[in-house]
Amino acid sequence: MRHREAPRTPSGVGMHVLESDHAVSGPPIRMAASAFEMMARAARAAFPRECCGALLGPAPAPGAPRRVEAVVPAANEAADGPRYRLGPEAVRALDAEARRRGLCVVGYYHSHPRGGARPSALDRELAWPWLVYVIQPVHAHGAGEPAAWTLEHGRGAFARCPLSIDNLED
Q: Which CATH number is 34's domain given?
A: 3.40.140.10
CB-based contacts of 48: which residues, under 8 Å, 6+ apart?
Answer: 113, 114
pLDDT value for 161? 95
More confident residue, 127 or 15: 127
pLDDT value for 81? 64
**Global model pTM greater than 0.75:** yes
Contact (Cβ atoms closer than 8 angstroms) between residue 137 and residue 116 = yes
Number of domains within the chain:
1
**22/51 Cα distance (integer angstroms):** 25
Residue 5 lies in a domain: no
Residue 14 lies in a domain: no
What domain range includes position 158?
28-166
Q: What is the mean pLDDT of the chain?
A: 83
**Which of 57-66, 93-102, 139-148 has the highest average model confidence (pLDDT)?**
93-102
Residue 39 lies in a domain: yes
Residue 113 lies in a domain: yes
Residue 49 lies in a domain: yes
- What is the DSSP pairing of strand 70-74 with strand 132-139? unpaired
Query: What's the rounded mean pLDDT across residues 21-33?
Result: 80
Checking if the pLDDT of 12 tops 60, the result is no
Residue 2 lies in a domain: no
Residue 10 lies in a domain: no
pLDDT value for 13? 34
CB-based contacts of 37: which residues, under 8 Å, 6+ apart?
Answer: none
3-state DSSP of 117-143: CCCCHHHHHHCCCCCEEEEEEEECCEE
pLDDT value for 18? 41
